[in-house]
Amino acid sequence: MLFTLHLMIIVFSLTYYLTERTGLFAVFPPSSQEVLFSMPILSAALLFLLLTLISAVKHFSDIRARGWLLVVTVILLISGLLVSYLTRFSGDVVLTEGQTIFSGQYVPETLYRGRFSTIPDIGITLNKIIPSFNSDGTAVRSLRGEFTVIKKEEENPEEFVLTSGLPRLIGGSWFGMKGYGYSPRYTLKSKEGTILDSSFMFMKLFPYGSEDNFRLLSPLTYYLRYYPDHNGAEPRLALRIVRNKDIVFNGNVTLAEEIAFENSRISFDEVRKWSKLTVRHDMGAFFYMPGLLFACLYCAGMIVRIRRNSHEQK
Amino acid sequence: MTKSIISGAAGILLALSLSLFSHDQGVRNFRFSLGIYDSKMEENEIEETLKLFNRNFASFFNTGGSLAGLNEFPAANMIKRRIFQEINEWSKKNQVIVYDRDVFELESVDLVSPVSAAAVAREVWFLTIQDRETRKSLMSGVKANPIRVRYLMRKEEGTWRVIEYEVFGPDDTIPELQKVRF
């Protein structure tokens, strides 16, 4: 009876996970985290844990070392999932070179806060990004970021380096780096030359030819494409200024070149690089990481046993 | 063995049912995922929506901001805001900008999901600036404005609406659509 229930829960969880992730019945497939932290999966996991404990108590004297390894693995993996659901904090923050962020400035759609999670209380400055591109410059091979971290309890800021694909533990949270793009700094002036506004604008302008747009307070939309000094050519921007459906300007501009339109002038004086800093803080990892290790050990043991049995049969 | 098969089958059935009923319009989404969906009907609806959008768009400008048709205007509030912001700017100068549509050709419709789509249209508009009171043209001629527009659309309560549009020059390449959840 217990075995059939265990089997049903495993099949249910796998089917539910795959159905959700493929988006068979959904408008957009949810992320792995959203599915794992959904009520059906959490309830199934909790039920599975209870059944495993009941089964372990019932057959206490009959269970061998291998069996206990499996029981401990199940307990660790499921408790890890539940603790993670309650304590996990994850969020991405976009940082342009020279920019400092403090906790709370995360991209809303990347933010997950468990009921008992804590937000890492530190400030981080991105000093420099060193990208490495593929041969034609259309994809980033790796990123290296130089940061300064300001912790509340420490007086002196600490320098550290992050490489994409290699997260680092800082102040109890894992920091990683992903994504790459350009942040041009626009300067908007009046016809007479008075600076009205100037700011860096984080834009998805990588790889070359990608277009993004921004708006200020007027009904104008500024569309940009950025072509950096690739193959020795002078960096340039393809700029299009549109007022509702009227194209006011459409052409190429170089850095710092002023474009006059209507009663204003706009220039793009500087382009810096941006990347996304991923911040993860998860108490569940203390459970599911050893759980995964035990699961590997259990599987390795099973493979050894099967091979030994097949040799003995020969 | 039979028990195991039954419990496995029950697990699959339970998971599929739960997934189906936990999503709004799960059957419609399922049909869309499998490609057995009446996309032609959606494309026709999108085309009609865009015609209505452009009709209203032009009449807002041409009337100098008359609110007639605002409720049926199939557009997100941000678009309405941008249109009336511009109309007000012209009004302050006692002028109106007149949008006269010459060409509207729908080039493509890409159904991203059952509730979101991107449509590209080739349009030609003739623009004139007129005195608000006398309606006399303040330009020596008219400005021909050939454009390509990519409309990002969303179906809400069974009706398509434009949630954003991007304007390109007639010879500009249109960048690949970022298929995020829109």
Chain A: closest CA distance from residue B20 (Å): 6
Which pLDDT score is estimated for A228?
Answer: 87
Which of A302-306, B93-97, B125-129 is predicted least confidently?
A302-306
**Torsional sign, CA B101, B104, B110, B113:** positive
How many whole angstroms separate alpha carbon A294 and alpha carbon A74? 9
Please tell me what DSSP assigns to residue A99: -
Residues of chain B in contact with residue A11, where contact means CB-CB under 8 angstroms, are 7-8, 11-12, 15
| Burial of A63 per CB tally in 10 Å (0-12, 13-18, 19+) | middle
Residues of chain A in contact with residue B59, where contact means CB-CB under 8 angstroms, are none
Distance of CA B97 to the CA centre of its chain: 23
Domain residue extents for chain A: 2-88+284-313, 90-181+276-281, 182-272
Flag residues of chain A having pLDDT under 50. none
Q: What is the dihedral of CA B72, B76, B82, B87, to 10 degrees?
A: 0
Secondary element (H or E) of residue B138: none
Residues of chain B in contact with residue A24, where contact means CB-CB under 8 angstroms, are 19, 29-30, 33
For residue B151, the chain A residue with the least C-alpha distance is A245
- Across the beta sheet with A140-151, the strand order is A100-102, A122-133, A140-151, A158-163
Chain A 36-55, residues with CB within 8 Å of chain B CB atoms = 40
Which pLDDT score is estimated for A230?
Answer: 61
Q: Establish if A306 touches chain B: CB-CB under 8 angstroms.
A: no
Which of A61-65, A91-95, B14-18, B166-170 is predicted least confidently?
A61-65
- The answer to whether ipTM exceeds 0.95 is no
Angle at A82 between CA A81 and CA A87, to 5 degrees: 100
Q: Establish if B127 touches chain A: CB-CB under 8 angstroms.
A: yes
Q: Considering CB atoms only, which of B7, B85, B143 is closest to A219?
A: B85
Q: Considering CB atoms only, which of B33, B83, B169 is closest to A240?
A: B169
Domain limits, CATH 3.10.450.240, in chain B: 38-168
Q: Greater confidence, B122 or A233?
A: B122
Which pLDDT score is estimated for B180?
Answer: 64
Q: Considering CB atoms only, which of A10, A13, A27 is closest to B115?
A: A27
* Matching CATH number, B38-168, of 3.40.640.10, 3.30.360.10, 3.10.450.240, 4.10.80.40: 3.10.450.240
Reported as a single tens digit per residue, the pLDDT across B47-93 is: 999 999 999 999 999 999 999 889 999 999 999 999 999 999 999 99
- Report the mean per-residue pLDDT for chain B: 94
B7-37 residues labelled b (16+ CB within 10 A) or e (exposed): bbeebbebbbebbbeebeebeebbebbeeeb
- Do residues B144 and B162 touch, judged by C-beta distance below 8 A? no
Q: Considering CB atoms only, which of B16, B113, B178 is closest to A15?
A: B16
Reported as a single tens digit per residue, the pLDDT across A219-272 is: 999 999 999 876 677 899 999 999 999 999 999 999 999 999 988 999 999 999
Select from B6, B17, B19 the residue whose CB has the most chain A CBs within 10 Å, as the one to mutate to test that interface.
B19
Chain A: closest CA distance from residue B23 (Å): 6
User: Model confidence at B181, in pLDDT bands (50, 70, 90)?
Assistant: low
Which pLDDT score is estimated for A95?
Answer: 93
Max CA pair span of chain B: 89
Peptide bond into A235 cis (omega under 30): no
With CB atoms and an 8 Å threshold, state whether A246 touches B57: no
Residues of chain B in contact with residue A250, where contact means CB-CB under 8 angstroms, are 169, 172
Which pLDDT score is estimated for A37?
Answer: 97
With CB atoms and an 8 Å threshold, state whether A22 touches B33: yes
With CB atoms and an 8 Å threshold, state whether A23 touches B33: yes
Chain B: closest CA distance from residue A25 (Å): 5
Q: What is the DSSP string of B69-114?
A: TTTT--B-HHHHHHHHHHHHHHHHTTEEEEEEEEEEEEEEEEEEET
